[in-house]
Amino acid sequence: MSQNVYDILQERGFIEQCTDEENLRKLFEKERVKFYIGFDATADSLTAGHFLTIMAMMHMQRAGHIPIALLGGGTTMIGDPSAKSDMRKMMTKETIDHNAQCFHKQLSKFLKFDNESALVRNNADWLLSMNYVEMLREIGVHFTVNRMLAAECYKQRWERGLTFFELNYMIMQSFDFYKLYKDDGCKLQMGGNDQWSNIIGGVELIRRKEQGEAYGLTLKLLTTSDGIKMGKTMKGALWLDPEKTSPYEFFQYWRNIEDVKVEECLGLLTFLPMEEVRRLGALQGSEINKAKEILAFEITKTVHGEEEATKSLEAARAIFKNGGISDDMPTVNYTRADIESGKDIITVLSDMKLIKTRSEGRRLINDGGVTLNDDKVTDPSLTLSDKDFNENGIAILRKGKKIVFKIQLN
């Protein structure tokens, strides 16, 4: 432990708020600190937003501390009302369990859960069996409603209406921290900055019930320069599951990041040394494209492995630098029979999932957004034929400037 991990996180830009910086730094020097981050099981895959917190966990683990990944099997039954304008749809127990399993599997790619260097817990194990009256007597007495309502994260909901049901989310999350503190000796909770009030709730609960010393630390949220949450694509979230977002798509997302975000993302989402991060972030003009390529490669490498990262990089270079063809670019396979029975261009776009409806396809063609083998498609009823394919049975279809598909004829 040569360098205090607090300095590492701070230098890389992770830290937003901390309950007690001075004593937390001391704690990091004194012992291997057990800390936790909660993941509510709202979908069947983690997203780029989660990845940032996972990076923080990995930095902590590298520094010798012990991450606890807390799956929100219990808290997801309610749903965090923070910064949401509406109540989330209620999810069934089965869906939540399934999602939690998916999370566990994905997290295992980044952290080794061997009960030694990293642990997993699921708050369903203690929250679901909880007795209401007991809970009120043990935990509820330590919370004042006015205090809770003053929390920044409920402000928005305060105007639109917040149910008692959702108000309990904070209490449950606070209890989680208390439980992990008692059972596992967890002394620190980390989370996105929108979790600040929920985290404080736990820190205070531990102090009130146990006179215990616990800390909270929140992390920067990834946003675009407009302040919008980063990691949204036209298809929705940027998933870590390669079945939901292909490694190539994932790579391209980071390759296309805004200039001003490059240095921040390099610090947060890669393990490159900070001198390198600063050097790359300072590149001017079109030079910064080199930095973006490295950024995309490094993140893809961590998430999908070096092999996929290399493939994505090469496919991107082939497509953009040489206007060429690569084995690893997105591909759709057709048989001769498909062509003979007639594949019109809109069906092809639809097969590639580039359009949701045929009308959208027609519009796109009218706008001049579709190119087949370097020729702009002007006729929406155009049907693929043998002459559109080269000697290797390949045709290239573009949507806009950045999306390129290979059509392979077998």
Q: What minimum distance in Å lies between the beta carbon of 93 and RNA? A: 22
Q: What minimum distance in Å lies between the beta carbon of 255 and RNA? A: 5
Q: Which is nearer to RNA, 199 or 262 (CB)?
A: 262
Task: Find the part of the chain contacting RNA (CB under 7 A) among 107-115, 137-145, 252-260, 332-340.
Answer: 252-260
Under rule CB under 7 A, residue 369 binds RNA: yes
Q: Which is nearer to RNA, 166 or 204 (CB)?
A: 166
Label each residue of the chain as H, E or C: CCCCHHHHHHHHCCEEEECCHHHHHHHHHHCCCEEEEEECCCCCCCEHHHHHHHHHHHHHHHCCCEEEEEECCCHHHCCCCCCCCCCCCCCCHHHHHHHHHHHHHHHCCCCCCCCCCCEEEECHHHHCCCCHHHHHHHCHHHCCHHHHHHCHHHHHHHHHCCCHHHHHHHHHHHHHHHHHHHHHCCCEEEEEHHHHHHHHHHHHHHHHHHCCCCEEEEECCCECCCCCECCEECCEECECCCCCCCHHHHHHHHHCCCHHHHHHHHHHHCCCCHHHHHHHHCCCHHHHHHHHHHHHHHHHHHHHCHHHHHHHHHHHHHHHHCCCCCCCCCEEEECHHHHHCCCEHHHHHHHCCCCCCHHHHHHHHHCCCEEECCEECCCCCCECCHHHCCCCCEEEEEECCCEEEEEEEC
Under rule CB under 7 A, residue 185 binds RNA: no
Q: Which is nearer to RNA, 121 or 292 (CB)?
A: 292
Under rule CB under 7 A, residue 256 binds RNA: yes
Task: Find the part of the chain contacting RNA (CB under 7 A) among 21-29, 47-55, 116-124, 283-291.
Answer: 283-291
Q: What minimum distance in Å lies between the beta carbon of 217 and RNA? A: 30
Residues 136-165 that bind RNA (CB under 7 A): 160-161
State the number of binding residues for RNA (CB under 7 A): 37
Label the pairing between strands 394-399 and 119-122.
unpaired
Residues 348-367 that bind RNA (CB under 7 A): 356-360, 362-364, 367
Task: Find the part of the chain contacting RNA (CB under 7 A) among 126-134, 148-156, 253-261, 297-305.
Answer: 253-261
Under rule CB under 7 A, residue 403 binds RNA: yes
Under rule CB under 7 A, residue 379 binds RNA: no
Q: What minimum distance in Å lies between the beta carbon of 329 and RNA? A: 11
Under rule CB under 7 A, residue 402 binds RNA: yes
C-beta separation of 370 from 345 below 8 A:
yes
Task: Find the part of the chain contacting RNA (CB under 7 A) among 30-38, 200-208, 316-324, 328-336.
Answer: 316-324
Q: What minimum distance in Å lies between the beta carbon of 322 and RNA? A: 11
Q: Which is nearer to RNA, 137 or 402 (CB)?
A: 402
The correct pick among 107, 170, 316, 345 for binding RNA (CB under 7 A) is 316
Q: What minimum distance in Å lies between the beta carbon of 16 and RNA? A: 24
**81-114 burial code (b ≥16 CB/10 A, e <16):** bbbeeebeeebeeeebbebbebbbebbeebbeee
Q: Which is nearer to RNA, 273 or 285 (CB)?
A: 285
Task: Find the part of the chain contacting RNA (CB under 7 A) among 104-112, 193-201, 285-293, 333-341.
Answer: 285-293
Residues 160-179 that bind RNA (CB under 7 A): 160-161
The correct pick among 22, 114, 116, 226 for binding RNA (CB under 7 A) is 226
Q: What minimum distance in Å lies between the beta carbon of 377 and RNA? A: 11
C-beta separation of 318 from 308 below 8 A:
no
Centre a 10 Å sphere on the Cβ of residue 27 and count the other Cβ atoms it contains: 17
- Residues that bind RNA in the complex, under the rule CB under 7 A: 160-161, 225-226, 234, 252, 255-259, 285-286, 288-289, 292-293, 316-317, 319-320, 356-360, 362-364, 367-369, 399-403
